[in-house]
Structure 1
Amino acid sequence: MSNLPEVQEQPQEQAEMSFLDHLEELRWHIIRAVLAIGIFTIAAFLFIQRIYEQVILSPAKTDFWTYKMMCKLADMLGTQGLCIDSLPFIIQNRTMTGQFTMAITTSLVVGLICAFPYAFWEVWRFISPGMHLNERSVARGAVFYVSLLFGIGITFGYFILAPLSINFLSNFTVSPTILNEFDLVSYVSTITTLVLACGILFQLPMVVYFLTKTGLVTPDMLKTYRRHSIVVIFFLGAMLTPPDPFSQVLIALPLIGLYQFSMLISKRTYKKMKAEE
């Protein structure tokens, strides 16, 4: 009976040390992820002028790749309505620290985008050891597919959503006597918000895949709540994009397509699970 307290205290001590070890491991994963973001951020800041000229300000120029492709499509269809040959606005800086602040903000966004695959890999390295063997097999390739969808979303936001939104907002006027002179902060915030929002929202197929694997979602459930999901998609588009209906519709349409694609993924995954059972 005298040895009973020692037997009871030993597992508690081991559990406490195990928890602290997990916290220490998580801390180092976070440090490495933040360090990678910081390295890319510093590198982007060193080349910030080139990034602004060739990346950030490019959608505000009529020789941007998207506008060129739209003009070629207009020539093929025999209509000039699709060709964008003018963007009637200028970008101004109205605050003393505006350009420096935007340089830091842009560098941080570029660093986050470039380091995202590695940062997610670090997070995944911390999560995966706690999974069961069958859960690891289910989640195999998660880093690749998450990074791929993130890259597709970023590309869509930059080459499709951002230039079309800029064209719409710059040409929309309530009176021809009012000139569009956009503030640098407003312009950069619009570009970065649209691009990052697309990168995040394009993770929908992976989310549906994992929810289906865990049994929280079924294909019939997705089909039943399709109309509700469309409302949620438009709500997310309103929350994550600038407050104009054009951008919200532009980001909602591909998300509806992704939802349909996610339904196919869920259906295929569900059939495979039933076959294995």
Structure 2
Amino acid sequence: MSFLDHLEELRWHLIRSVMAVVIIGSAAFLMKDFIFDTIIFGPKKMDFPTYRLFCEIATVLGFESAFCAEKLPFTIQSRLMSGQFSAHIWTSIWAGFIVGFPYVLYEMWKFISPGLYEKERKNSRGFILIASFLFFLGVLFGYYVVAPLSINFLGTYQVSAEVTNEFDLASFISTVRTSVIACGILFELPIVIYFLTKVGLVTPELMRKYRKIALVVVLILSAVITPPDVTSQIIVAIPVLILYQISIFISARVMKNEAKREARERKRNKDVGPKK
């Protein structure tokens, strides 16, 4: 295929991906009460599962905790004429992307896979399933851990009793969305390392060598997507560090398989050589 043919092929894959996001987003648009009252504003209610869990832990340990409060001391408001309508549309689009992520990934894979060797395609079986699983795992972690921790901390933080927390609707939704999407992407680390190892850009030795630097980077990323307290950063950093260790194992496995493949090829070429 020529370069323009490749662009045409990519265009149709992108069109189908966008159509899937729009269709799912349209369904989400019609489910306004569930999307906002149950999902988006769920972490604002003190009966949210995360708050109940942390409250029970604090009670068992004999500590007083903000997670045991009756309600969070802030209100949400919309100060723009089109604020609520715009929030409804964009939230529906993001919901369409999150739910439709496996299909979007499938379309991208259909565009890339013809450029791979048959053996590479076989070795990459299950890629969409594993990548989607990791993404949704990250989304759930972001929604049930990062988002409520951020909302609880920032919603209860006050520099003075004279100041009342009244958050804009777009700001609240952005906090939830950023926590969810960022964690979904972070949890794709093993997939990224797998392909970087396949192309020779990353090795397990390199990852072990720069483990301390990776730890610092993970803590910085944790600080970006969480409230500025040590506990939240550690809670976010732990699963990412576990994923980093898993990525080292995956990288080592890929290198081992590549070494075996090269050994088999050398042996086969050696056996074929004398016959010629």
Q: TM-score normalised by the shorter chain: which range applies?
A: 0.7 to 0.9
User: 1:268 maps to what in 2?
Assistant: 253
Q: Number of aligned pairs?
A: 259
1:245 aligns with 2:228: yes
Which range is displaced more, 56-65 or 171-180? 171-180
User: 1:195 maps to what in 2?
Assistant: 180
Instruction: Please tell me whether the aligned partners of residues 146 and 236 of structure 2 are also in contact (alpha carbons under 8 angstroms).
Output: yes
**1:114-263 paired onto structure 2 within 5 Å:** 114-237=99-222, 241=225, 244-246=227-229, 250-263=235-248
User: Which of 23, 34, 40 is matched with 2:7 structurally?
Assistant: 23
- In structure 1, stretches of 5+ residues that fail to align are 1-14
SS at match of 1:140: coil
Task: State the one-letter code of the partner of 1:55.
Answer: I
SS at match of 1:104: helix
Q: TM-score, normalised by structure 2?
A: 0.86
Instruction: Please tell me whether the aligned partners of residues 74 and 82 of structure 1 are also in contact (alpha carbons under 8 angstroms).
Output: no
User: 1:45 maps to what in 2?
Assistant: 29
User: Which of 49, 53, 75 is matched with 1:65 structurally?
Assistant: 49
- In structure 2, stretches of 5+ residues that fail to align are 264-276
Task: Evaluate the alpha carbon distance shift between residue 71 and residue 249 of structure 1 in structure 2; reply closer, same or farther with a 3 A threshold.
Answer: closer
1:75 Cα deviation (Å)?
4.2
User: 1:107 maps to what in 2?
Assistant: 92
Q: Deviations over 1:30-68 (max 9, x none)?
A: 111110000011111111232100100010000111112
1:74 aligns with 2:58: yes
SS at match of 2:68: coil
SS at match of 2:167: strand
Percent of aligned positions with the same letter in both sequences?
49
Instruction: Please tell me whether the aligned partners of residues 70 and 82 of structure 1 are also in contact (alpha carbons under 8 angstroms).
Output: no
* Aligned-partner Cα distance in 1 for 2:15–2:223: 33
SS at match of 1:220: helix
1:198 Cα deviation (Å)?
0.7
1:237 Cα deviation (Å)?
4.4
SS at match of 1:245: coil
1:183 Cα deviation (Å)?
1.1
C-alpha RMSD of the superposition: 2.1
* Aligned-partner Cα distance in 1 for 2:18–2:131: 19
* Aligned-partner Cα distance in 1 for 2:135–2:14: 20
Task: Evaluate the alpha carbon distance shift between residue 221 and residue 182 of structure 1 in structure 2; reply closer, same or farther with a 3 A threshold.
Answer: same
1:91 aligns with 2:76: yes
* Aligned-partner Cα distance in 2 for 1:82–1:98: 30
Q: Deviations over 1:10-40 (max 9, x none)?
A: xxxxx6xx43332222221111111000001
Q: Deviations over 1:250-270 (max 9, x none)?
A: 544432232122122222332
Q: Deviations over 1:99-147 (max 9, x none)?
A: 1111111111101101110011011011101101222123221111111
